[in-house]
Amino acid sequence: MPNPGMDGETYDAFIEQLDRFVRDRLIPAEDEVDRINRVPDDILAEMREMGLFGVTMPEEYGGAGMNVSQYIGFVKAMSYVAPAFRSILSINVGMVNSAISGFGTEQQKQYWLPRLAGGEVAAFGLTEPDSGSDSAAMKTRAVRDGNGYRINGTKRYITNAPFADMILVMARTDAEALPKNAHVSAFLVPRNAPGVSIGTPDEKMGQKGAQIADVILEDVHVDGDALLGGEEGIGFRAAMTSLNNGRLSVAGASVAYAQRMLDEGLKYATERKAFGEPIGKFQLIQAMLADSKAEIYAADCMLTDACRRADAGEKIIVEAAAAKMFASEMCGRVADRVVQIFGGAGYLKEYKAERFFRDARIYRIYEGTTQIQQLVIAKHMLREAGVQV
């Protein structure tokens, strides 16, 4: 069904306010986030007060009811700054909201969506030490126990795990690898449930403040109403549906962060002088600036089209994969060029380019690597051509 989203004027005013918040409050806090490796508590409180954790939740559950295009506009606004600020919001307003809104029971929606819209932090537990995109290799098990389930397993690289209030956990409810991933179910697990523990936050190449860690589930008992949708076997479908939004979100983040890097590269090219004139006057510097601008524009056009199709009710598995693949690879190329524009200074921590380069690298990996996106796109092409894969 088409999704009209927020009123246009209200949305535009919100984005204008958000842009000011990013410029005046978040960008000046980037160095502190890098130093303490988390979003400061006072800024987190302001983000909750502004309703940023609930922008996509339906209005009847305390959210703003943004459609996909509006949500990605929000992501782009939040992604012009250090990634930690978007990261802590993204699981709430992206994957977990998509799963609960699209597949949850009415009781689950009424219980969880207002809490998440109010700023309780969510995590999404799919990846494991021995399985990521290969759900058939999933080892986390949920076994019936009385009126509920008992869950055992370990999830890895889970964004927000160190400070999450709830975790959407994917687990096998059948020992066999059933067709179409029907062995995978999803469970809404409170972080404080007995048996849930969080590993030490992982040290990463970049994206300071956006913390990830293992989630260990040892004989975690949940009631039957924790099963998403009250139905076994829909977990993989919920995960894949929510991953479409996740992939669009990463594409939006890639576009916005590439624009931030290009803006900083352009500024440096106008200020740094060599042979008595700004380096921006040199044609090979201009070529790097121009290539970056053209690729950002192309990625943004792809993203706009994918969002429009999603809001019209179309299936966008291929479009989301293509936009994520192209935008994240583009972002990596822009990061490399900006370091090159900065020259020797681009390799030094005191300048922004070095941090940009490290931050941008993950976009080509999470929500499905570039290689996974290639497989998704190609398999759909082959199926449309009548080839079973």
The two structure tokens encoding residue 137: 């290799």
C-alpha angle with apex 241: 256 to 250, nearest 5 degrees? 15
Cβ contacts of 156 within 8 Å, gap of 6 or more: 127, 128, 129, 214
Whether 203 is catalytic is no
Helices (H), 176-282: 235-271
**Pick the catalytic residue: 232, 295, 354, 367?**
367
Q: From start to end of the chain, where are the E strands?
A: 122-125, 141-145, 148-159, 166-172, 184-190, 196-198, 212-223, 273-274, 277-278
Torsion of CA 223, 226, 230, 236, to 10 degrees: -130
User: Which tokens sit at 312?
Assistant: 């019209």
Tally helices (H) and strands (E) across the chain: 12, 9
Single out the residue of 25, 73, 68 nearest to residue 47, CA to CA. Answer: 25
Beta bridge partners of 153: 217
Catalytic residue list: 367
